């Protein structure tokens, strides 16, 4: 079982803090936007779906991505350990207005550090739609290794079709070398 030792993470430009139902209106700005969620296996969300997600968000697992300079909530991310707390998976989404500025890479780096150094994970994986080049570039910028391409493995709800997904991973000993 995971210990919630840390619930807020910081990077040079970001604060990753717990999400709450008070974030619903802002979260809905990206969760309901078809362009924003086009590579996700969820969404576009109704407000009810966003509220259900936020009500289930766990401190130390689900984080809001906040710009330090302005205090603006621009996305969400998380690290999700398996039951043995041996392997964790990463996920993130940023509001489309904040794409291409390195925030995803910065948030992913903070999640990897937290996963390996605080949660003591042995392995971390991240999976994305194979067409989501920006997302897998985030993984590559963090020195994660591409492990596979799974054909028609992901249901893209917005497009109502099966799509390919790519799998990236890193082991703790690789983290220690970087």
pLDDT at 6: 61
How far is Cα 60 from Cα 6, in angstroms, rounded to an integer? 6
pLDDT at 178: 66
Which residues, at least 6 apart from 103, have a Cβ–Cβ distance to it below 8 Å?
A: 13, 14, 65, 67, 74, 75, 94
Sheet holding 123-129, edge to edge: 9-10, 14-18, 62-67, 73-81, 87-94, 123-129, 161-171, 145-156
pLDDT at 105: 97
Count how many domains the chain has.
1
Question: Is residue 86 domain-resident?
Answer: yes
Question: Is residue 43 domain-resident?
Answer: yes
pLDDT at 4: 47
Question: Is residue 155 domain-resident?
Answer: yes
pLDDT at 161: 87
Question: Is residue 44 domain-resident?
Answer: yes
User: Residue 147 belongs to what domain range?
Assistant: 9-177
Question: Is residue 1 domain-resident?
Answer: no
pLDDT at 126: 97
Count of residues for the chain? 178
pLDDT at 157: 79
Pick out the chain residues at pLDDT < 70.
1-6, 178
Question: Is residue 136 domain-resident?
Answer: yes
Question: Is residue 3 domain-resident?
Answer: no
pLDDT at 2: 45
CATH number of the domain to which 158 belongs: 3.40.630.30
How far is Cα 176 from Cα 72, in angstroms, rounded to an integer? 32
The tokens describing 49, both together, are: 């779906």
Task: Spell out the SS3 assignment of 74-123.
Answer: EEEEEEEECCCCCEEEEEEEECHHHCCCCHHHHHHHHHHHHHHHHCCCCE
pLDDT at 75: 98
């Amino acid at each position: 079982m995971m210990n919630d030792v840390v619930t807020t993470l910081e990077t040079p430009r970001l604060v990753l803090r717990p999400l709450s139902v008070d974030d619903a209106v802002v979260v809905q700005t990206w969760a309901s936007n078809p362009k924003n969620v086009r590579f996700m296996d969820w969404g576009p969300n109704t407000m009810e779906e966003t509220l259900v997600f936020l009500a289930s968000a766990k401190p130390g697992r689900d984080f809001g991505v906040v710009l330090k300079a302005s205090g603006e909530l621009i996305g969400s991310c998380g690290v999700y350990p398996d039951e043995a707390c041996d392997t964790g998976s990463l996920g993130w989404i940023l509001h489309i207005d904040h794409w291409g500025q390195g925030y995803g890479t910065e948030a992913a780096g903070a999640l990897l550090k937290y996963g390996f150094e605080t949660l003591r994970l042995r392995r971390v994986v991240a999976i994305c739609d194979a067409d989501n080049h920006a997302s897998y570039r985030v993984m590559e910028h963090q020195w994660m290794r591409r492990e596979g391409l799974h054909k028609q493995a992901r249901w893209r709800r917005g497009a109502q079709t099966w799509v390919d997904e790519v799998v990236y991973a890193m082991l703790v000993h690789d983290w220690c070398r970087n």
